[in-house]
Amino acid sequence: MTRIHSFTVPVDADIVDAFCLMQKGFTDQFVYYAKDRPVRYLGLGRCIALPALEDAECEYDGPVREEAVFFSFNRFDAENPAPADELFSSFPRLRFMLPEIVLLENERGRFLQVNSLGPVYPGRVERFLRLCAQAPARTRETIPYRLEDDSREEWRRAMGAATAAIEAGRVQKVVLSRRKRLVAERPFSSKDLLVNLIDGDARGTVILYRYADVFFCGCTPELLVRKRGQRVESMCLAGTCPAGADEAERARLAAELMADEKNRAEHDYVVRFVREVFNRVCYDVDVPAEPEIMSLAHVQHLHTPATAQVLEGVELWDLVGDLHPTPATAGLPVGEAMMLIRSIEAYNRGFYVGAAGFVDAAGDGEFSVALRTGVFDGEVGWVYAGCGIVGASDADAEFDEIDLKLKTVLSAFEGA
Ligand SMILES: C=C(O[C@H]1C=CC=C(C(=O)O)[C@@H]1O)C(=O)O
């Protein structure tokens, strides 16, 4: 059993500004930052990594008690033997990571949490508090870059293999992705991209995981699962159209998406899957029969929220395992679709569409599906996006849809 000492104090500072100032001294960094609600956790340093939360015992100190926060970033297909790109390959395989410092904002306020394997001495906390108070307002910068083209021909071949597997009855749906290499005109840091994602137009949850100089980040709209006590929430997100140039076009495209059979079929596979998982491990399950529209900066999606009460004894990590990957990022049946993805895609997805999130020492927390993400180092990176393929899918339309989805992670390079 590992004993963890966790000391929490309120902070009267903007936690993103404080993070930007303090992050310089830490190579391990973790962010889970919901843009539209106070579920915001910014972690620095690695106090300890644990394979299971039962291995830790927390002792709390300081004027307020906030549960110790463990971050967790997981690969889409951890068993895939294909090599990931050179950047993903450099991340260690760790499950629950407790930062040395967490700047957090929840409905109770803003806090600084200091975690240690020995008692936290107040002088250390005071020094961090002084830094928080001194943090200057962050600024945004545009980072010019170019994207190397990937081949449309190769995509058509991949789509051909996917539709052949659908016609043969092997899968009903499979989600294929593309990756593009990015080369910037000057070096950029994780802080540069983080600030643009947090302060820019992208909607959803900003995630970042940095290990040494390499970092994975993006802004995802897809909640995998949130747990608070017995209440759990998830989301079915599949089916896409462009955002449109103005409100009128946005509304027209959304209405077309709602009426489109191919997209509704793609979406329904996810709804049935999430409903089935919830029915197995929860009660009071509510998954509406009709989707709604989730309107984002670059695209719009069919979206069905899912809520339930989880059976006693079922932990957040169990739910992550049951739900991930959903047919929104793998296909259906999930295992068959994952095998197909391994055989069609020339690369291992790494953390792209993996489960990324946090869990606190009481077992509450949330995970998102790491859509709209990329992995970066210095002046280069790889950006990833995918789309659901069903029998009626058109290769060129899906290729263009992926380009639209890539705009979200690329907005990390756009300053104000
Ligand atoms: C796999 C991705 O999106 C999924 C989530 C929402 C809509 C999707 C779609 O319409 O294809 C995908 O299932 C991605 O953005 O990389």
What residues does each domain of the chain span?
145-186+228-348+377-413
**Contact indicator for 206, 198 with CB cutoff of 8 Å:** yes
As given in the structure block, the two tokens for residue 52 are 């299971």
- In CATH terms, 145-186+228-348+377-413 corresponds, of 3.40.50.150, 3.40.640.10, 3.60.120.10, 3.40.50.300, to 3.60.120.10
In the set 222, 266, 345, 366, the catalytic residue is 222
Please name the residue whose Cα sits nearest to atom 11 of ligand 1.
387
ipTM of the complex: 0.98
> Measured from the CB, is residue 388 less than 6 Å from ligand 1?
yes
pTM over 0.80: yes
As given in the structure block, the two tokens for residue 193 are 């991209």
Determine whether 148 is exposed, middle or buried from the number of CB atoms within 10 Å of its CB (0-12, 13-18, 19+).
exposed
Per-residue pLDDT of the chain (416 residues; tens, 9 = 90+): 899 999 999 999 999 999 999 999 899 999 999 999 999 999 999 999 999 998 899 999 999 999 999 999 999 999 999 888 889 889 999 999 999 999 999 999 999 999 999 999 889 999 999 999 999 999 999 999 999 999 999 999 999 999 999 999 999 999 999 999 999 999 999 999 999 999 999 999 999 999 999 999 999 999 999 999 999 999 999 999 999 999 999 999 999 999 999 999 999 999 999 999 999 999 999 999 999 999 999 999 999 999 999 999 999 999 999 999 999 999 999 999 999 999 999 999 999 999 999 999 999 999 999 999 999 999 999 999 999 999 888 999 999 999 999 999 999 999 98
Q: Which of 229, 209, 1 is nearest to 95 (CA)?
A: 209
In the set 66, 100, 173, 227, the catalytic residue is 173
> Measured from the CB, is residue 206 less than 6 Å from ligand 1?
no
Backbone angles phi, psi at 222, to 5 degrees: -100, 110
Q: What is the DSSP string of 183-207?
A: EESS---HHHHHHHHHHSS--SEEE
**Contact indicator for 102, 46 with CB cutoff of 8 Å:** no
Alpha carbon distance 346, 150 (integer Å): 12
C-alpha angle 17-18-20 in degrees, rounded to nearest 5: 65
